[in-house]
Amino acid sequence: MFVIGTAGHVDHGKSALIERLTGVHPDRLQQEQERGLTIELGFGWLELPSGTEISLIDVPGHIRFVRHMLAGIGGIDAVLLVIAADEGIMPQTLEHLSILRLMNIDKGLVVLTKSDLVDSDWLDLITDEIRGVLSETGLNTAPILTTSAATGDGFDELLTEIDRLCNNLPPPRNIDRPRLSVDRCFTMSGFGTVVTGTLLDGPIAVGDMLELSPIGQTVRVRGVQTHGSDLDKALPGSRVAVNLTGVSVDDVSRGMVLSRPGTVQKTSSFDATINLLGKAPLKHNQKVHVHCGAAEIQGRVRLVGTDTTENHEPEFVQILLSEPLATAEGELYIIRVSDQTIGGGKILSINPARHRRSDKSIIETLSALSSGSFESKLLTTIRQIQPTPLSGIVELLTESSTKIDSTLGNLIESKSVLELKTSDANAVYITSDWLESTKEYIGHLIDQHLEVWPLRAGIPREELRANLSLDAGIYSLILQLLEKYDIKANSDVVTRSSWVPQLSDSQKTTVADFVDSLKSAGYAPNRTDIDPELTQYLERERIVKNLGDGVIFEFGNYESARDTVLELLEKSNDSSLGVIRDALSTNRRITQALLETMDKEGLTARIGDGRKITERGRTLRGI
């Protein structure tokens, strides 16, 4: 099943052509029928002599309704370029041809209508003119067929050529990722909300749970219809009407996308290729109308690498949107200014960071996304969002899961990409060059920290993670990978494997005096007059023990006091603070700090006003 659209100037007979082919006039609105002017999209279908079914989309030809034409042209497989024999090539013929080129539609037929109004000499002249105009387009070899909807002349040959055209078209792509850009929405009594559009990239079946983007509404497929027939499943490449539950028709509008959850993204900006028509310059930050799928949104164009297109045509742009757009990587778009189509291209990246125009690496990245192999595109995509789970990659690439998995496997085998298994048995992916740059950055942060705090063991683990903005689980995996390099981590700090804090000569003198004083003080230490950095260093080296509340023990004295308390608790029924204080021959404040430290370390436990020894304390005592 294929979808074929019409294109051409206003009043050149597109609607009459479809009516003659299908028996149904595509103009649905009373205003259209009264004025003889197509305003909205029209639809029809027919079965070709070979048995192939096709859908036909009738698009408006008037300049004021080009935006409606753009809503219907996306997703078609081929085009019938309609040109009235009595007028020939007209302005909207040329604009529609430009739009077809920008949308990569290069399969189709040229249909000369109203042949009954001219003679054969005129037909020959018009045919030559058409060939000249088409010579620079994708339709340069398209057959030119002469018809008259009034008399029926030429329609048998037209049907034969449409059949031949369809036989040579590639089958609609099916990567099991269905998406439908809504071009109509309405309500039916007894059924509720119905949306229509051209189904791409996968099937939709009754009972499917889908997502309506960009509003993020989950909906259920109640019914599916193609060409007036109810189906259990609609296949890609067909015009589809989908009856939905879970959403009001008031919440649905043209341009929304129906898809499997997570396969189409909501974005307020995108990076893209750009192809410009004509000579009119496009300026940085210029306001434009953006057409993508069936959506039309206002936006601004940010040029990459230049300020204006007056002397240089850019390859890439970043487009900022005034409201969210539901789209995917690889989608085509058109931009218009003041009712004039000025260009278009292919979306390369969704929700990108804002670029500096002078950043050459951005152009390199976009070039890889634009023209590289799928392997190169996948690698570039991972670089943009790493570390990332597989679902993050799938969201950005409109390819089958099979192809993504296979290509990802090749990148892992070549060590271009690393797979990290998380604690929940899932995986995240990073590139080898990202790991290398992250290693260098971590090393820089460690060195920077130790330069300021030379007596510390390393940078606090959580402080480093905050600088890297990494999930805790992924952060731990990265640190494990870096153990083979000069980086090591424990539960508290991350440091250089070779790092050993060193005291200066003056610090050594200060420390020696301080420690000797503490040692001499026994269980009644009374000095804290030392740099807190030195205190932390001495405690980490197990030279002193800081109990808090202004109490610092020489470490040997602390161990002796601790053991004295544990021995007392083994023997005495009276374990009050006063008894312990007297046993240590010290004051209440020091005794309180010692007991609270032992409680924290799990050696003792408080019971009322007293203490008891714990199992951990007994183990320490060797009991």
pLDDT at 310: 64
- Tokens 């249909």 belong to residue: 111
| φ/ψ (deg, to 5) at 511 | -65, -45
Residue 213 has pLDDT above 60, yes or no: yes
Contacts 24+ apart (CB under 8 A), 463-466: 464/494
Measure CA 14 to chain center: 39
Averaged pLDDT, 525-538: 90
- Provide the 10 A C-beta neighbour count for residue 523: 19
Q: How confident is the model at residue 1 (pLDDT cuts 50, 70, 90)?
A: confident
Please classify residue 331 by burial: count the beta carbons closer than 10 Å to its beta carbon, then call 0-12 exposed, 13-18 middle and 19+ buried.
buried
Residue 23 has pLDDT above 90, yes or no: no
pLDDT at 24: 77
What is the rounded CA–CA span in Å between residue 255 and residue 524? 79
Residue 515 has pLDDT above 70, yes or no: yes
Residue 121 Cα distances to 84, 124, 612, angstroms: 15, 5, 115
Assigned token pair, 272? 């893209």
Q: How confident is the model at residue 516 (pLDDT cuts 50, 70, 90)?
A: very high
What is the rounded CA–CA span in Å between residue 444 and residue 440? 6
- Winning range, highest mean pLDDT, from 133-147, 370-384, 567-581: 133-147
pLDDT digits (tens, 9 = 90+) for 54-98: 988 877 644 444 566 676 677 789 999 999 999 999 988 888 898
Q: Which one has a higher pLDDT value, 161 or 609?
A: 161
Q: How confident is the model at residue 312 (pLDDT cuts 50, 70, 90)?
A: low
pLDDT at 26: 57
What are the respective helix, strand and coil percentages of the chain, to the nearest 5?
35, 30, 35
pLDDT digits (tens, 9 = 90+) for 134-144: 998 899 999 99
Q: Which one has a higher pLDDT value, 499 or 355?
A: 499
Least confident among 224-228, 278-282, 351-355, 610-614: 278-282
pLDDT at 18: 86
pLDDT digits (tens, 9 = 90+) for 578-619: 999 999 999 999 999 999 999 999 999 998 888 999 999 999
- 45 and 55 in contact (C-beta within 8 Å)? yes
pLDDT at 351: 86
Averaged pLDDT, 272-294: 88
What is the rounded CA–CA span in Å between residue 100 and residue 84? 19
What is the rounded CA–CA span in Å between residue 393 and residue 406? 13
What is the rounded CA–CA span in Å between residue 3 and residue 44? 10
Q: How confident is the model at residue 315 (pLDDT cuts 50, 70, 90)?
A: confident
Averaged pLDDT, 9-16: 80
Q: What strand order describes the sheet that includes 488-489?
A: 459-460, 493-495, 488-489
- Provide the 10 A C-beta neighbour count for residue 291: 27
Q: Which residue, among 240, 231, 169, has the nearest Cα to 200 in the 3D structure?
A: 240
Residue 267 Cα distances to 96, 291, 343, 544, 593, angstroms: 28, 14, 21, 57, 58
- Cis, bond preceding 387 (omega within 30 deg of 0): yes
pLDDT at 59: 72
pLDDT at 79: 92
pLDDT at 552: 94
pLDDT at 313: 67
Averaged pLDDT, 160-173: 93
Q: How confident is the model at residue 380 (pLDDT cuts 50, 70, 90)?
A: confident
pLDDT at 60: 61
What is the rounded CA–CA span in Å between residue 582 and residue 344? 88
Q: How confident is the model at residue 364 (pLDDT cuts 50, 70, 90)?
A: confident
Assigned token pair, 236? 């890609």
Task: Round the average pLDDT of the chain to a whole number and report it.
Answer: 88
Q: How confident is the model at residue 37 (pLDDT cuts 50, 70, 90)?
A: very low
pLDDT at 156: 94
Beta strand 179-181 with 275-276 is unpaired
Assigned token pair, 100? 């077809």
Q: Which one has a higher pLDDT value, 528 or 323?
A: 323
Averaged pLDDT, 220-227: 94
How open is the CA angle 126-129-132, to the nearest 5 degrees?
Answer: 150
- 428 and 388 in contact (C-beta within 8 Å)? yes
First to last CA, the chain: 84
| φ/ψ (deg, to 5) at 193 | -75, 130
Which element (helix H / strand E) includes 18? Answer: helix 14-22
Please, which residues have CB within 8 angstroms of residue 196's CB and are 6 or more apart in sequence? 43, 182, 183, 184, 185, 239, 240, 241, 242
Walk me through the domains of the chain, giving residue ranges and CATH numbers.
2-167 (3.40.50.300), 179-259 (2.40.30.10), 265-366 (2.40.30.10), 384-502 (1.10.10.10), 510-621 (1.10.10.10)
Question: What angle do helix axes 360-371 and 374-385 make, rounded to 10 degrees?
Answer: 140
Single-letter amino acid code for the residue at 214: P
Which element (helix H / strand E) includes 109? Answer: strand 108-113
List the helix and strand counts (H, then E) for the chain: 19, 33
Q: Which one has a higher pLDDT value, 265 or 446?
A: 446
Q: In three state form, how does the secondary structure of 434-467 look?
A: HHHHHHHHHHHHHHHHHHHCCCCCCEEHHHHHHH
Q: Which one has a higher pLDDT value, 431 or 622?
A: 431
Alpha carbons within 13 A on the beta-carbon side of 540: 15
pTM of the entire structure?
0.71
Q: Which one has a higher pLDDT value, 36 or 155?
A: 155
Residue 447 has pLDDT above 90, yes or no: yes
Q: Which one has a higher pLDDT value, 278 or 124?
A: 124
Q: In percent, how much of the chain has pLDDT > 90?
A: 56
pLDDT at 29: 37
Q: How confident is the model at residue 32 (pLDDT cuts 50, 70, 90)?
A: very low
Averaged pLDDT, 198-210: 94
